[in-house]
Structure 1
Amino acid sequence: MVSTFRSSFLLLLVSLFALLAFASESDHKYQTDEQVTLWVNKVGPYNNPQETYNYFSLPFCHPPGNAGHKWGGLGEVLGGNELIDSQIDMKFKKNVGRTTICIIELDATKVKQFRDAIGKSYWFEFFIDDLPLWGFIGEVHSDKKNDKIQHLLYTNKNIFVRYNGDQIIHVNLTQDSPKPLEEGKALDMTYSVQWIPTDVAFSRRFDIYLDHPFFEHQIHWFSIFNSFMMVIFLTGLVSMILMRTLRNDYAKYAREDDDLETLERDVSEESGWKLVHGDVFRSPRNMVLFSAVVGTGAQLAMLVLLVIILAIIGMLYIGRGAIVTTFIVCYALTSFISGYVSGGMYSRNGGKSWIKSMILTASLFPFMCFGIGFILNTIAIFYGSLAAIPFGTMVVVFVIWAFISFPLALLGTVVGRNWSGAPNNPCRVKTIPRPIPEKKWYLTPSVVSLMGGLLPFGSIFIEMYFVFTSFWNYKVYYVYGFMLLVFMILMIVTVCVTIVGTYFLLNAENYHWQWTSFFSAASTAFYVYFYSIYYYYMKTKMSGFFQTSFYFGYTLMLCLGLGILCGAVGFLGSNLFVRRIYRNIKCD
């Protein structure tokens, strides 16, 4: 028990300082003839990125004895990486001719394993000095004359290493000598190494993995311009048309006329958002849950902004699992924000069960992710995949939540309650709720909520394609400057659309605007998930229960976070708008 706790605590420290860890790796230097390690990582079907297995789950040449393992931090483990020392002889600047690694004696079991893997287009991943190498394990050859299909296994690996001075710049791998898989045969597995000098700087060595034509294509710039024009249109709509209407309303409501007939006529014609001033600041239903989702959404908004900025500054895409590690650590450190926003809102609305609100705020999003992750982890364990999260890693994540995230959320709740002050609503809330008249179908909360996410989704539609492609199709996403710009556009569009929807709802004399404004903004996530279904069937070749469950499970986790984030931002923007307009009218 003590050793388990010590190992978990050590892994926690490694995870917390992961950024520093992979920063030091960027200075790898080697002496001539110094041993360079080839790390084998994983294998799996090429079309199913998350369905990965230990490299030695296939009967390849296994290194003698206990091979060394390399752990790069929490994010690397969660990403399904398990680096094992291949123990092949490779020294810095020393060429190696074709050399035998081992001889594989093929029996019926090994032949079946290799044939099944080749038939499913299995690929593998190696690492040399933190630079990846990829390749397929074999190929399928069709003999049309004899109407036969042969499965050929590549038996020779040629490794090319480019170096500049005492540092490795680029690695590449080619394979040849495909041999048929026949029971009773022996296959000689060989490799060769060739060192090639280059003048490419060490700081530019990762550029070769970045697909500049794909991410910086003209359509990417066009989508940014299109979203920017949408922002101008919406802000113009809110500032010119909406505020002009409000000025007319203010003029009507503030007019003081001694003419009794005119006054009676104005009162009889009075309608719209002014009539619900006695109910508009009534506390929303399920205040505990509402304050929790708004607080969590405010934290997620700050978290995404922080992670994007760190990715731009630190080029986190270079390190294996660096983005995931940064996200988890920053989530824990920003938990104060969720507690502060939730506690302040709950206190201002007269809530008494603040402990319940605090616990729900601190555990809402993590436990939703845990529930989805538990189901996916069970599937991964059943399949024996590297995507299964080890128990020790789960302990580390729980320790981060229990000893960092939860206390910060508690502190934020206490500070938010004490600093929130008394309710300062511009209008007094009446004791008896006003009945809500029936309106046309397009002014109902459900329709307003569903339509509210269309324009925000349109502003991020193209960027979602690039994000999905990078995550599910082996491309390295590195244009975080684009992502920052699109994220800011999304926030502005979400606030503007939610304000317009809230104004229409109040004009329909429906004062239940809080949840409606939240769902109106959160519905963006519904359209993203709907798009993910289209992307799965039209843009990928994924198949099988394992990959399908992981695809839609991870996408559901993403959309839940996006929905809570957008919903909170939409509500907070609408809240400022509502307080602003009711501050300028005469309330009874």
Structure 2
Amino acid sequence: MPSTVRSFSLVFLLIFLIISAAPSTALESDHKYQLGDPVTLWVNKVGPYNNPQETYNYYSLPFCHSSSNPAHKWGGLGEVLGGNELIDSQIEIKFQKNVDRILICRLELDSSKVQQFRDAIDNAYWFEFFMDDLPLWGFVGDRRPDKSNENKHLLLTHKTIIVRYNGDQIIHVNLTQDSPKPLEVGKTVDLTYSVKWAPTNITFARRFDVYLDHPFFEHQIHWFSIFNSFMMVIFLTGLVAMILMRTLRNDYAKYAHEDDDLETLERDVSEESGWKLVHGDVFRPPRNLVVLSAVVGTGAQLAMLVLLVILLAIIGMLYIGRGAIVTTFIICYALTSFISGYVSGGLYSRNGGKNWIKSMVLTASLFPFMCFGIGFILNTVAIFYGSLAAIPFGTMVVVFVIWAFISFPLALLGTVVGRNWSGSPNNPCRVKTIPRPIPEKKWYLTPSVISLMGGLLPFGSIFIEMYFMFTSFWNYKVYYVYGFMLLVFLILVIVTICVTIVGTYFLLNAENYHWQWTSFFSAASTAVYVYLYSIYYYHVKTKMSGFFQTSFYFGYTLMFCLGLGILCGAVGYLGSTLFVRRIYRNIKCD
């Protein structure tokens, strides 16, 4: 027993260390320096500029560096998953001490090194450094025509680091390069650096503003898209309220009329059609109940997760820290697993499900294992290429520990609570023993067409925001307008609910009572249109190339669309459930 307690203590200590490292924004002590204090320049990664995920260790190129083991900097789980590996450059920099041109090392160029540098220059390789958690970027080299009008490969050998400070804090860093030297076998080139310090009036709290592209994200088209989506919400909710509620009110009046003579009643009964006729089947348990319960529970969790992460990003400016968003997402996913268990357990129990353990295990593992499957394939590709995008085995263990010791138990607890608190069947209408035959209807009233068309309007409401998000993730822009994202997310939820309710009403009027999966797929089809848009974006808006980047682009996008589809599907199903229960609550169920 004591050994078990110690094991759990070690696990929770590990998890606590992961969570505490999540912000990753104050690892350089307190960001305060005294005159002459050493300032570390960290080298990070290098890779083709057009392929953001294809990154390698900085020293995978034959840059000279000390033979001793340099220090590594670990900034949290999200940083590792983001493909960062910070290594001490061992370049001597001291606070407020200017450095004239100083030799880093002499690089002897043999045929292998020349070929590596030439390949890097041909593929527009860029590199990333960090100083006091502020990034610096530069290109490895350049190609310029010589006298014979042929492109010559030039290595940029001198780096000038310009550092601006306010008091005892570093505010801004910039890197410029010059002294291009031709790459010729047998030559020796000197790699040098210099450091210039300059004061500034910018405060420490505003030091990250220089990396934010305000004209791009706060362009008029972004504001217009929000306004356009908001008007769509008003129109759609008004349409649902005016048309559906008016129709239902008329149906109620005719259905509840008790004073007609026998002839009128017989005529009304003979003309009776639509959603009222299926009241004995509309609450029949859906097919594949365990799967539906799992995806609806997972979608409810993802909806709460997205809302929570956006709010934390607005409050805490998570875009500043390397990998902070990813770390926050993983930890919050684990902590919100109770929601998925609660929703799934209640839904499964209300529909008469008996194998609740199977439902609970599927709910807890469905989305993580789908992501793991995609991630495993991408990780294999990254390992084959020797890229920093490959996730170390230790990081995989940490992620598994978080899932096994936080997410899974909370999902189990949520399932038990959901079964006991919200698992009692309380349908407004009794389910008949014999299922009613479904009449054949027009093609546009079939579940497949309703499902496919249901995602168009929700996709239209987020279309512009998808462009900004894709551009941010794949084109080196820091996404910081989480207020916009919050508004777009709320608009997406409202539009999805309204569209799914309309689709469910059309389906029930067609006397088809299989509305559960239809309402889910009607909302989830939004993700299909997002994925189709991603194909267009890849071919038209980017210059990505190669198997590595293509697999990562479509793999990450597939992971995102799976989550979006499950989220929207759950929102649509839950909204339709409330609608169906509401309309059948006021009719006489025999």
The TM-score normalised by the length of structure 1 is 0.98
Match of 2:483 in 1: 481
Tell me if the contact between 1:164 and 1:199 (Cα under 8 Å) persists in the aligned partners. Answer: yes
Secondary structure in structure 1 of the residue aligned to 2:387 = coil
* 2:234 pairs with 1:237: no
Tell me if the contact between 2:23 and 2:324 (Cα under 8 Å) persists in the aligned partners. Answer: no
2:428 corresponds, among 405, 426, 429, to: 426
* 2:462 pairs with 1:460: yes
Select between 7-16 and 459-468 the one with higher mean Cα deviation. Answer: 7-16
Tell me if the contact between 1:11 and 1:73 (Cα under 8 Å) persists in the aligned partners. Answer: no
**Amino acid across the alignment from 1:469:** T
CA distance in structure 1 between the partners assigned to 2:257 and 2:11 by the alignment: 70
CA distance in structure 2 between the partners assigned to 1:510 and 1:283 by the alignment: 14
1:69 corresponds, among 64, 67, 72, to: 72
Secondary structure in structure 2 of the residue aligned to 1:194 = strand
CA distance in structure 2 between the partners assigned to 1:263 and 1:63 by the alignment: 95
* 2:22 pairs with 1:54: no
Tell me if the contact between 1:11 and 1:74 (Cα under 8 Å) persists in the aligned partners. Answer: no
Tell me if the contact between 1:8 and 1:395 (Cα under 8 Å) persists in the aligned partners. Answer: no
1:561 corresponds, among 555, 560, 563, to: 563
Tell me if the contact between 1:257 and 1:263 (Cα under 8 Å) persists in the aligned partners. Answer: no
Q: Which runs of 5+ in 1 are unaligned?
A: none
Match of 1:526 in 2: 528
**Amino acid across the alignment from 2:484:** F
Summarize the Cα distance change of 1:6–1:557 in structure 2 as closer, same or farther, 3 Å threshold: same
1:108 corresponds, among 108, 111, 115, to: 111
CA distance in structure 2 between the partners assigned to 1:284 and 1:6 by the alignment: 43
Aligned-residue offset at 1:260? 1.1
Match of 1:544 in 2: 546
* 2:386 pairs with 1:398: no
The TM-score normalised by the length of structure 2 is 0.97
Summarize the Cα distance change of 1:7–1:280 in structure 2 as closer, same or farther, 3 Å threshold: closer
Give a deviation string over 1:151-182, Cα, whole Å, max 9, x none. Answer: 10000000000000000000000000011100
CA distance in structure 2 between the partners assigned to 1:142 and 1:416 by the alignment: 71
* 2:501 pairs with 1:499: yes
Equivalent residues in 2 for 1:346-361, closer than 5 Å? 346-361=348-363
Aligned-residue offset at 1:438? 0.6
Secondary structure in structure 1 of the residue aligned to 2:525 = helix
Select between 73-82 and 238-247 the one with higher mean Cα deviation. Answer: 238-247
Give a deviation string over 1:176-217, Cα, whole Å, max 9, x none. Answer: 001110000001000000000001000000000000000000
Match of 2:202 in 1: 200
CA distance in structure 1 between the partners assigned to 2:9 and 2:337 by the alignment: 25
Summarize the Cα distance change of 1:21–1:469 in structure 2 as closer, same or farther, 3 Å threshold: closer
Give a deviation string over 1:472-492, Cα, whole Å, max 9, x none. Answer: 000000000000000000000
Match of 1:384 in 2: 386
CA distance in structure 1 between the partners assigned to 2:239 and 2:366 by the alignment: 35
Select between 22-31 and 439-448 the one with higher mean Cα deviation. Answer: 22-31
CA distance in structure 2 between the partners assigned to 1:309 and 1:5 by the alignment: 31
CA distance in structure 1 between the partners assigned to 2:12 and 2:547 by the alignment: 35
Match of 2:169 in 1: 167
Aligned-residue offset at 1:241? 1.0
Aligned-residue offset at 1:25? 5.3
Give a deviation string over 1:381-430, Cα, whole Å, max 9, x none. Answer: 00000000000000000000000000000000000111124211000000
Tell me if the contact between 1:8 and 1:396 (Cα under 8 Å) persists in the aligned partners. Answer: no
**Amino acid across the alignment from 2:98:** N
**Amino acid across the alignment from 1:288:** V
**Amino acid across the alignment from 1:122:** Y
Tell me if the contact between 2:48 and 2:55 (Cα under 8 Å) persists in the aligned partners. Answer: yes
Match of 1:135 in 2: 138
Secondary structure in structure 1 of the residue aligned to 2:54 = coil
Summarize the Cα distance change of 1:490–1:211 in structure 2 as closer, same or farther, 3 Å threshold: same
Q: Which runs of 5+ in 2 are unaligned?
A: 1-6
CA distance in structure 1 between the partners assigned to 2:101 and 2:24 by the alignment: 35
* 2:99 pairs with 1:85: no
CA distance in structure 2 between the partners assigned to 1:103 and 1:11 by the alignment: 43
Match of 2:276 in 1: 274
Aligned-residue offset at 1:258? 4.0
Secondary structure in structure 1 of the residue aligned to 2:375 = helix
**Amino acid across the alignment from 1:408:** L
Match of 1:216 in 2: 218
Secondary structure in structure 1 of the residue aligned to 2:551 = helix
Q: Which runs of 4+ in 1 moved over 4 A?
A: 4-11, 23-26
Secondary structure in structure 2 of the residue aligned to 1:494 = helix
Equivalent residues in 2 for 1:244-283, closer than 5 Å? 244-283=246-285
CA distance in structure 2 between the partners assigned to 1:148 and 1:100 by the alignment: 31
Tell me if the contact between 2:24 and 2:324 (Cα under 8 Å) persists in the aligned partners. Answer: no
CA distance in structure 2 between the partners assigned to 1:179 and 1:7 by the alignment: 54
Summarize the Cα distance change of 1:5–1:105 in structure 2 as closer, same or farther, 3 Å threshold: farther
Aligned-residue offset at 1:19? 4.1
**Amino acid across the alignment from 1:348:** R
Select between 14-23 and 206-215 the one with higher mean Cα deviation. Answer: 14-23
Summarize the Cα distance change of 1:123–1:11 in structure 2 as closer, same or farther, 3 Å threshold: farther
Aligned-residue offset at 1:297? 0.2
**Amino acid across the alignment from 1:73:** G
Summarize the Cα distance change of 1:157–1:11 in structure 2 as closer, same or farther, 3 Å threshold: farther
**Amino acid across the alignment from 1:49:** P
**Amino acid across the alignment from 1:148:** E
Summarize the Cα distance change of 1:544–1:9 in structure 2 as closer, same or farther, 3 Å threshold: farther
Secondary structure in structure 1 of the residue aligned to 2:50 = coil
CA distance in structure 1 between the partners assigned to 2:332 and 2:114 by the alignment: 47
CA distance in structure 1 between the partners assigned to 2:424 and 2:323 by the alignment: 45
**Amino acid across the alignment from 2:554:** F
CA distance in structure 1 between the partners assigned to 2:398 and 2:126 by the alignment: 31
Secondary structure in structure 1 of the residue aligned to 2:239 = helix
Tell me if the contact between 1:18 and 1:322 (Cα under 8 Å) persists in the aligned partners. Answer: no
Match of 2:102 in 1: 99
Give a deviation string over 1:297-339, Cα, whole Å, max 9, x none. Answer: 0000000000000000000000000000000000000000000
Q: CA RMSD in A?
A: 1.5
Secondary structure in structure 2 of the residue aligned to 1:206 = helix
**Amino acid across the alignment from 2:377:** I
Secondary structure in structure 2 of the residue aligned to 1:65 = coil
Secondary structure in structure 1 of the residue aligned to 2:25 = helix
Aligned-residue offset at 1:21? 4.9
**Amino acid across the alignment from 2:230:** F
Tell me if the contact between 2:22 and 2:77 (Cα under 8 Å) persists in the aligned partners. Answer: no
Match of 2:3 in 1: none
CA distance in structure 1 between the partners assigned to 2:397 and 2:197 by the alignment: 43
**Amino acid across the alignment from 1:57:** S
Aligned-residue offset at 1:146? 1.8
